[in-house]
A and B are shown apart, each in its own frame.
Chain A
Amino acid sequence: MGTLLEIRDLKVSFDTEEGKVEALDGVNLKVKEGEFHALIGETGCGKTVTGLTILGLLDNNAKIENGQVIYKGIDLLKLTEKQLQQQIRGKEITMIFQDPSTSLDPIFTIEEQMLEALENELELTKEEKLKIITEELRKVKLPDVEELLKKYPHQLSGGMKQRVMIAMMLSCRPSLLIADEPTTALDVSTQAQFLKILEDLKRETKITAIYITHNLAVVSEICDTVSVMYAGRIVETASLKEIFLNPQHPYTYKLLHSVLGIETDIEQLQEIPGSVPKLINPPSGCRFHPRCEEAKDICKTKIPKLQEISDGHFVACHKRVMEWTKC
């Protein structure tokens, strides 16, 4: 499998009233063709910012300080707004968001919005477009498609809206899907339905996805590779099984063991001491060191690099990397 998207040493900062926030500090990420790559981490770790940077959707107060986002050989950060709009967004890469109700325009019917999404396809007639649309809506298992097309977003439930979003995005046949917490606003039963649809799509269309979430259980359902983010950096990347069975970074380990369902007894839940640092004035060296029980002197001064310790398993931790080089 080739690499579809590669992020190299990406640094993004935000200017806020309180000061400069180093939201991303040297993010390195490789997304292979056809895989579902999970980006997990807690609030404020930079996972959404990573997604937005790829599509050039950052707010005005954001500044890309360094880095490249190579997609099919092109550096997306070098493209102009116009190029991104015409060639990348929607066509090559699409994003779906947590709250489906804010992504759909309340004053247009589903049909109008779905046609709008296809407006760049000049060679297609309206009938052909409608055919594609109905087909996609059926693919996401929405019932009564003809009737649905005439409806307005507020007439649909959250789960249906999220499926419409998926169908809309699929109709443009993108190569990469960025899903930002797509099931967080959904109920468990609707979430299960949604995950099934994604799984079918993955099998049938071979689409690649970056799946941004904080929910490890969802990750274990449909993702192949997992990258764990902490305070603006990626601390560990490995295959799904490796992350769950053989987590290396102390943060990954602790995070896994604070998930309900992995631990079924309150007594066994792991606590991470302290809290997520503010990124206005982040800790020096490894940003996890103030909360790490295994921290050494070097962790306070030197930023650990993301290094491969076994096939496809990368970790950014001084201690782990040293242990691995010894044996």
Chain B
Amino acid sequence: MDKVLIEVEDLKKHYHTSKGTLKAVDGVSLVIRKGETFGLVGESGCGKSTLIRTILRLLYPTSGKIIFEGRNIAHLHEKDLKDLRKRMGIVFQDPHSSLNPRMTIFDILARPLKIHKIVKNRDDMVLRIVEILKLMGLQAEHMIRFPHELSGGQKQRVAIARALMVEPEILFLDEPTSALDVSVQAKILKLLDKVKKQRNLTYFYISHDINLIRVVSDRIAVMYLGKIVELGEKDLVFQKPLHPYTNGLFRSVPIPDPDVKIEKIPLEGEVPSPVNPPSGCRFHPRCEFAKSVCKGKEPKLMKVEDGRMVACHLYQ
């Protein structure tokens, strides 16, 4: 459990736009341990999608280190990435757009096997595909279908199967259930949980759904405007969120209980643009505890107690 799988160090991904530099990911450091489920939560535009795509090297990082199994992959050349593609997988949010509409399910699942030359012959390939379909709770006959003939939940199962085809070490899950109905969501989450235990995988979930992250994760991180503001063991963070943003965010979540209502508006205002973000602590204009130091100096992500880190001047 304590073996480090991925170590990200001061990772940055900046874009040049006509309005200025957009700092989508701006100095993120974190560690993913082998076998854990890591949950990253944040609102739209906080950079969580960009972060995992950069770790996966679907995007080229501006600076920083990504150490995967002892090797820095941050600046590997495009053509040296093929081996990496076999070891990390990703499942996208919207299964309707993540499957090529002109390929059958068989073709979709056969591609990873062909690219990485994993199987010897066609019979082997068919067997592998039938096996994974079965693991996903689909039937062999689904392989002859096109994506549009399947329901949303079935499509997402195919997308998961595609990512698992090459037997990766880690699966990145980008809001894997947010496009699905509640009852389907429950099924997909249970399926992912089962597969993780069976294959001893590591999961990296990202989501804006705090309840989801709470249910699936071992450790969580909260992201705001390109930076991680809090990170730690799930139970600790949920019991007592330290960063004012985390606290406000958690209190914004409606609780499905008729007796519990959201008290006064927990977070006023809106997330500022990541182009020219506020100085110092990026949360200071919305923070009720902001002091003068918060405007001038950027707080570092520091360990405050065992198993948790926070980036806030209140604790430093």
Contact = CB atoms under 8 A, between A and B. Distances in A.
A and B directly contacting (CB within 8 A):
yes
B185 A260 contact: yes
Nearest to A240: B258
A168 to B, nearest CB: 20
Interface stretch (A80-88, A171-179, A265-273): A265-273
A220 B210 contact: no
A220 B260 CA distance: 8
Contacts of B275: none
Interface in B202-217: 208-212, 214-216
Contacts of B20: none
Contacts of A241: 258
Nearest to B216: A266
A188 interface: yes
A98 interface: no
Contacts of A216: 182, 256
| Size class of the A contact interface (CB-based, 8 Å) | 35 or more
Interface in B162-210: 181-187, 189-190, 193, 208-210
Nearest to B257: A220
Nearest to B245: A189
Given A214-B182, A258-B186, A269-B186, A220 B265 contact: no
Contacts of B94: none
B209 A187 contact: no
Interface in A252-277: 254-256, 258-266, 269-272, 275-276
A42 interface: yes
Contacts of B181: 42-43, 214, 276
Interface in A175-232: 187-193, 195-196, 214-221
Given A188-B208, A217-B254, A266-B189, A42 B270 contact: no
B182 A255 contact: yes
A218 B257 CA distance: 10
Given A192-B262, A264-B214, A187 B193 contact: no
A97 interface: no
Contacts of B268: 193
A219 B261 CA distance: 11
A244 interface: yes
B183 A187 contact: no
A260 B186 CA distance: 8
B100 interface: no
Interface residues of B, number: 43
B215 A189 contact: no
A192 B255 contact: no
Contacts of B264: 196
B255 A261 contact: yes
A153 interface: no
A3 interface: no
A260 B208 contact: no
Contacts of B253: 188, 192, 217, 261
Interface in B16-55: 43-44
Contact of A217 (B214, B215, B248, B256): B256
A189 B255 contact: no
B151 interface: yes
A223 to B, nearest CB: 9
B183 A189 contact: no
Contacts of A255: 182-183
A301 interface: no
Given A189-B267, A266-B190, A269-B189, A254 B252 contact: no
A221 B262 contact: yes
A76 to B, nearest CB: 30
A284 interface: no
A244 B216 contact: no
Interface string A150-179: 000000010110000000000000000000
Contact of A42 (B183, B249, B257): B183
Q: Which of A219, A220, A262 counts the most chain B CB atoms within 10 A?
A: A220
B186 A192 contact: no
B153 interface: yes
B252 to A, nearest CB: 4
Given A195-B254, A266-B193, A221 B43 contact: no
A259 B181 CA distance: 10
A192 B266 contact: yes
Nearest to B267: A189
B182 A42 contact: yes
13 contacts: A42-B183, A43-B181, A160-B270, A189-B266, A193-B265, A193-B268, A216-B182, A220-B254, A241-B258, A258-B185, A259-B182, A269-B190, A271-B186
Report, nearest first, the 5 A-B pairs whose CB atoms are least far apart. A192-B252, A258-B186, A217-B254, A260-B211, A42-B181
Interface of A: 42-43, 157, 159-160, 187-193, 195-196, 214-221, 240-241, 244-245, 254-256, 258-266, 269-272, 275-276
